[in-house]
Amino acid sequence: MPVFRGNVGNLLQHWVLCEVLEAWQSYAKQVDFIDAYAMAPLADERYPETELASRRRFDWVQARLREERTPYERAWHRLAPRAGRYPNSAALLTELWHGDYSLVLCELEAETARQLRKWAGKVKASPACVSIKVAEGDWRDRFRQEFVTSGDLVLLSFDPYMISQRVSGGNPANMDPADFELIAAAVSSLDCPLVMQLSTYSANGGNPQPAVLAATDARLEPAGFERLGVVRADGHMMSVLYGRDLGEGPRLDGLSGRFTSWLDEVKAGECGTVWSQRQAVGEEPWPLWRQRSY
């Protein structure tokens, strides 16, 4: 059965992804999406979550999806209106993106890759789908091959369990400095705007966030990437955005503050007080994370 975490890590990764897509709508007709850890298109089994607060915040958002307050919640609601199901990044993109798209979905687990191929057959029927390819196996194998893109926008997504500033010991679920050198080489010939999202969920093993950022900067900046921003959920979970050759495209300023504001509303909403208090005095219920300035 396809599984998902159902925690704040999901909220962080996909809130950021959907905001990036929303920001680029006016700048690119086609997005070429390359996902290193694709996951199932629609998961319906949840991992046991040891962190109760993280699980509770995910549940609070899911229970209120019908309000469709953000691009993320709107897409999630339309893709998985039934509680207990959760879409992957590629599915969220197909729901949100207004133009054409191509998808390269890397997936190590064989059963998940099979489900992605089945889903791909349905996605191909959409006029917006230029191509969709499922690369079964380690994403690193696919990144040693050539990528063909439209030249409008390439969006790269990586969400390993952990990013290590040192060699990670060969665990494909983690990333280390050699991986970033491989990524830089794989996209070196692409002459178009690139945005890369790196989401990581653990700082264990002596990998605090500042050290991880220093290690990724050291490998990506010489390849022409600049760090656009860091969005944190806590001291372990963060989503980092890098860009290259953005031209007139959005700089994605302000995502960190808006996510923090949104997550604070979620935390407060668990107590059932913040919404009623603000509405009672006529205040805008969602002041900061609705104020986009791309």
What local confidence, expressed as pLDDT, does residue 82 receive? Answer: 82
Under 8 Å CB-to-CB from 36, ≥6 apart: which residues?
A: 106, 139, 143, 156, 157, 158, 159, 160
What gap in Å lies between CA 261 and CA 266, rounded to an integer? 9
Quickly list DSSP for 251-271.
Answer: --TTHHHHHHHHHHHHHHHTT
Residue 11, number of CB atoms within 10 A of its CB: 26
**Rounded alpha-carbon distances, angstroms, from residue 170 to 64, 178, 181:** 40, 11, 15
Q: Is 261 exposed, middle or buried (0-12, 13-18, 19+ CB in 10 A)?
A: middle
pLDDT tens digit sequence for 68-114: 999 999 999 999 988 889 999 999 999 999 999 999 999 999 999 99
What residue type is assigned to position 58 of the chain?
A: F
Residue 61 pLDDT more than 70? yes
The predicted model scores a pTM of 0.92
**Which CATH code is given to the segment(s) 3-249?**
3.40.50.150
Distances (CA, A) of 153 to 53, 65, 129, 148, 276: 37, 29, 15, 12, 41
- Classified as helix, coil or strand, 139 is helix
Query: Which of 227, 200, 223 minimizes the C-alpha distance to 214?
Result: 227
Q: What is the mean pLDDT of residues 39-61?
A: 90
Q: What are the φ and ψ backbone dihedral angles of 78, each rounded to 5 degrees?
A: -75, -30
- Report yes or no: 240 and 213 within 8 Å, Cβ to Cβ: yes
What does the pLDDT look like over 196-217, one tens digit per residue?
Answer: 999 999 999 899 999 999 999 9
Which is it for the CA torsion 71, 160, 52, 274, positive or negative? negative
- pLDDT tens digits for 174-190? 999 999 999 999 999 99
Of residues 52 and 270, more confidence is placed in 52
